[in-house]
Amino acid sequence: MRAVKPIMLWFISTILFTLAAFGLELWEGTKISTTEYYGFQNIGFAIIFLMFLFSVLLYPVILLPLSWVIRKIANPLISRIMIFLLSGIAGYGFFYELYDERFIREYHLNSSTAVVFFGIAGFIYVLVDYYFESQAIKAEQNPC
């Protein structure tokens, strides 16, 4: 179970953060009505594919090492809270990478939407991580 858990979390984090980025694009990106911005309205599913590729790289490069370091420093509850909070902060950063400052002002885009979507994705990720950890503990206690 220990070897399978990171692979399952990689798959789940990819799906969650792709959905969070796509939700952000649908909620805020559709407000932008200029051809200067290449979002879902202009390039369609190609942007979902790009978000998916970004999410695939996000876990092994950032999330797995960061969560490993946090778990070595703090207890499991604190580490899960930190991952949840860092997900919301990452959504804030992703918002400002995705949308230009001019688009944010002109179309009244709201960065709190990104914090909420990515925070929800982080919360679900933490719940799934907790579930896998509790299953691993049960399997160790009851090896039948």
pLDDT tens track for 43-63: 777 888 888 998 899 888 988
Helices (H), 1-63: 4-27, 40-43, 45-58
**Residue 34: helix, strand or coil by DSSP?**
coil
Sign of the dihedral defined by the CA atoms of residues 23, 76, 59, 101, in that order: positive
Q: What are the respective helix, strand and coil percentages of the chain, to the nearest 5?
A: 85, 0, 15
**Over the stretch 78-108, which tens digit does the pLDDT of each residue have?**
888 998 999 999 999 999 998 889 889 998 9
pTM to 2 decimal places: 0.87
pLDDT tier, 32 (very low <50, low <70, confident <90, very high otherwise)? confident
